[in-house]
Chain A
Amino acid sequence: MHSLTTVSPKPRLVVVGNGMAGIRAVEELLKMAPDLYDISVFGAEPHPNYNRILLTPVLAGEMSLEETILNPLDWYAEHGIQLYTGNPVTQIDRVKRQIVTADGTTTPYDRLLLATGAAAAIAPVPGNHLSGVLSYRDMADVEALTRSSALGGQAVVIGGGLLGLEVAHGLRARGMEVTVIHRRAWPLDKQLDQRGGVLLQKAMEARGVRFLLGKETAEILGTQHVTGLRFTDGSEIPADVLVMTIGIKPRIELAQAAGLQCETGILVNDTLQTYDPRIYAVGECVQHRGQTYGLVAPLFEQAKVAANHLAEYGRMLYQGSVTSTKLKVTGIELFSAGNFMGGEDYEEVTLLDGSQGVYKKVILQENKVVGGLLYGDTSIGPWLFQLMRDGTDVSAFRDNIVFGETHLGDSGHAGENQASRLPDNAEICGCNGIAKGSIVKAIREQGLFTLDDVRKCTKASASCGSCTGLVEQLLASTLGGFYDSTPKKKALCACTDLSHQELRDAIIAEKLFSVRQVFDYLDWRHPGGCSTCRPAVNYYVRTAWPAHGLDDPQSRFINERAHANIQKDGTYSVIPRIYGGVTSPAELKRIAEVAERHHVPMVKFTGGQRLDLLGVKKEALPQIWAELDMPSGHAYGKALRTVKSCVGSEFCRFGVQDSTRLAIELEKSLERMWAPHKVKLAASGCPRNCAESTIKDVGVIGVDSGWEIYVGGNGGMKVRAADLLCKVKTHAEVLEMAKAFLQMYREDAQYLERTAPWVERIGLEQIKATIVDDANTRKALAERLDFALSQEKDPWKEAVSGRLDIHAAPMRRIPV
């Protein structure tokens, strides 16, 4: 596959542009193929790669240039990269495959990566060349602005967009009188509607920034240095410094002159390749599917895909980015994403609290979030953005959507808001004990941009993940300006760039029958995988190929390998299967005797109506299983756990249906079912719902005429009431419906995604259409599950009979 590596000397990769997109692509490439290319980087600016997002803190005097450097000169040297700074590339010679720089030297290339970025757009008005007319794009601009502001006086900013407001804030912080000129009726009209714009304007005015709105500049006044400007309506204002922030223009001159096709930006396909197959382009200079981007997350996504193709992996596609913006100017919080204006075919949910300066607006189309804006309180931003990106059906909670996730019956801390207002010592990650202060410090000092960066550096959100929302908020509020919460597609883990779905598709399309084959064939970055991908890949292989797929015990978590639950002290717990929770005196006696004989330290009823023998040494497991002579309860697995039941019509005076019998039937027909996550069922014999069917993955409730089937409920970390799927008459119908639902979940959900978030993600309507309305699909799904279950054996019996080795005994005892 790496045919170029055999050619000697190494092929040459030339990168034009030493900014965040170009260097990110080089970093991604080095991760995948560290020795593939001889790399040269040409930068027009005299600095190594710095963090352009931090221009405003530098301008406001809060940070120095050095603090914004992402890749110091040593980094280039360490990776054998030739860096040429301050030497702009003037020509690309595609015939000779070389580039020419300003000083006339030529450098040959085998692959060329263009990351030329964008320049500030300059209004075509008389006087735009005068000294004192500046733009705000790079460190040189910041230095010029800093020098000019030292003299004080009047600053005028033309363009009231994100950059304009940030520069206005920075110059005001440096003591200048600042006026923002904007041609629309309110500032930030690309991110805010009028109501939000007025709130923002008031807040900025309270901080001393003046606005002149609906004004169009006719001429910049002055002979050598700017002295003021005149508007089309004839009025004038004085100015000592004038900053143009009316937009950016992709730098395409070089590409255009070389005959590469350009429109607004350099045209690229989904692999970030230009019309010349040897030339790739990433970043702000690029136009992809008609879109240009100026935010950091899309640029990073592009960099990753381009690097994947430069590394000759050829697997990833860039399919565009959904972006959101978040501005933070001295405590002004703003979030906006997608279509925030609404319109005829859209519905709006709004909340306006003028005196608190809070305004929230969510735009819906067919019960899906298509955009929104938040002003004053942006805490629900990341959540809202997630709903938008995932296309989640919000009909169940649209009444409360502007209040965020905390109002959706969330007993955990997943949706806790206002991270930015917490004190520095507030614990964010409860699993790893990480306080807010250390996360913010790591983001600032180590130049972190993504959730994964934070997880790797601080461990925050790396365990149970329930604080992910908080960490994302901290990223947003710390990076401010141009932070875009999350890339559209999430890779499974750091071993691959493939998403869960791409991986599942590849396992089926390429007929991959084992974890080993997946890692080899799909070029896993670590040939041994990691604790995230190994169990996921093993599950996907087994689900795709129930008969032929190899089940690799070493790719299962310890619990599923030992077929018992590991405890904090390294002992295990044993939970035998007791169908429907109905046992007998003989069975109870046997369990009690085994527990006594083995001095089991604790015997406890579980939350799911079963018996748990706790504190068993691994060595003793097979013997205990043999003596119990009961099937495994699978209480340790991402698998069917229990079917909880109430007494039902057999004894209960209220019962209208035989819930214990149905629970036993369900548990017998679903036992040994592996799933993306644990699966819990319940059967209640009347609407009093004593088995708590409405907080189960699948719950049934008996009514006079039959059974109501509920799905997607959860009672754990995040409470969710189940949705009514349908009503059926007979036990057989319940069984088929439950099987079809669970098989659909098994085939579609991501590994470690429970039914509750899965149902929310794909929407109840789709599930109903697939399994309630379509009898053929329902039957086919149920049959596929039956087939998969027919391939599974009881692991305890397998171990007792010696067919399965759980390595219970030590490899050796010393001394023997």
Chain B
Amino acid sequence: MEWIALGTLEDIPAGGGRYVDTLAGQIAVLRNEKDEVFAVSNQCPHRGGPLSEGFVSGNRVFCPLHNWQIDLEKGEAVAPDSGCVKRFPIRREGDEIWLGLEEMTR
């Protein structure tokens, strides 16, 4: 596991998200109203919508394309929909945000 500095909390709008480009595709970095930060692959399991552009509330993100809801703690779509998104670990040092990637992902 390698930890990569992404920036600070202020770089991510509260209740929304940003995306990170990697060689293995985009990762959504999302911040909720309680300033908790989550990272998941930036593709809704439904039709691949960019989750970084969705509404974030509590532990959920609402996909901007067809409003699927994804549980960010489980990395799963909320019933009645079903599907998974890959989760990535986030480490916080003060306001700094670090993203954990496996060697392979780089």
Contact = CB atoms under 8 A, between A and B. Distances in A.
Interface of A: 431, 456-459, 462-463, 526-531, 534, 552-555, 557-558, 561-562, 566, 568-570, 807, 810-815
10 contacts: A527-B58, A528-B34, A528-B56, A534-B15, A554-B15, A555-B55, A810-B19, A812-B7, A813-B21, A815-B23
- Most B C-beta atoms less than 10 A away, residue of A526, A530, A531, A813: A531
Contacts of A569: 48
B12 interface: yes
Given A530-B62, A531-B67, A814 B23 contact: yes
Contacts of A463: 66-67
B85 interface: no
Contact of A526 (B23, B57, B106): B57
Interface in B16-63: 16, 18-23, 26, 29, 32-34, 47-50, 53-58, 62
A531 B62 contact: yes
Contacts of A431: 66
B19 A811 contact: yes
Nearest to A460: B80
B64 A558 contact: yes
A812 B21 contact: yes
A570 B12 contact: no
B84 interface: no
B22 A814 contact: yes
B83 to A, nearest CB: 13
A459 B66 CA distance: 11
Interface residues of B, number: 39
A807 B66 contact: no
B89 interface: no
A529 B11 contact: no
Nearest to A619: B21
Identify the 9 closest CB pairs spanning chains A and B, nearest first. A528-B57, A811-B18, A531-B62, A528-B33, A558-B64, A554-B16, A554-B15, A558-B53, A810-B21
A563 to B, nearest CB: 13
A459 to B, nearest CB: 5
Contacts of B7: 811-812
Contact of A557 (B20, B57, B64): B64
A111 B54 CA distance: 42
A517 to B, nearest CB: 13
Interface of B: 4, 6-7, 11-16, 18-23, 26, 29, 32-34, 47-50, 53-58, 62, 64-67, 80-81, 101, 106
Contact of B20 (A554, A561, A566, A811): A811
Nearest to B44: A570
A463 B81 CA distance: 13
Contacts of A553: 13, 16
A73 to B, nearest CB: 24
Given A528-B34, A530-B57, A554-B14, 12 more contacts: A431-B66, A459-B81, A527-B34, A530-B62, A557-B64, A566-B64, A566-B65, A568-B47, A570-B49, A810-B26, A814-B101, A815-B23
B47 to A, nearest CB: 7
A528 B54 contact: no
B33 A527 contact: yes
Contacts of A570: 48-50
A814 B20 contact: yes
- Most A C-beta atoms less than 10 A away, residue of B6, B34, B48, B64: B64
Contacts of B67: 462-463, 531
B97 to A, nearest CB: 9
Contacts of B101: 814
B55 A531 contact: yes
Contacts of B23: 814-815
Contacts of A456: 80
A530 B55 contact: yes
Nearest to B19: A810
A74 to B, nearest CB: 19
Contacts of B56: 528
Given A463-B67, A558-B53, A807-B13, A812 B58 contact: no
Contacts of B47: 568
Nearest to B29: A811
A615 B34 CA distance: 35
A810 B32 contact: no
Given A459-B81, A555-B15, A811-B29, A529 B55 contact: yes
B19 A529 contact: no
A285 to B, nearest CB: 36
B27 to A, nearest CB: 9
B12 A811 contact: yes
A178 to B, nearest CB: 42
B62 A807 contact: no
Nearest to B63: A531
A527 B55 CA distance: 13
A554 B55 contact: yes
A812 B8 CA distance: 11
Contacts of B19: 810-811
B80 A812 contact: no
Contacts of A566: 50, 53, 64-65
Contacts of A462: 67
Contacts of A552: 15
A812 B4 contact: yes
Contacts of B64: 557-558, 566
A528 B17 CA distance: 14
A458 B80 CA distance: 6
B20 A810 contact: yes
A346 B20 CA distance: 66
B55 A807 contact: no
A534 B55 contact: yes
Nearest to A813: B21
Contacts of B53: 558, 561-562, 566
Nearest to A516: B33
A644 to B, nearest CB: 28
B11 A811 contact: yes
Nearest to B43: A570
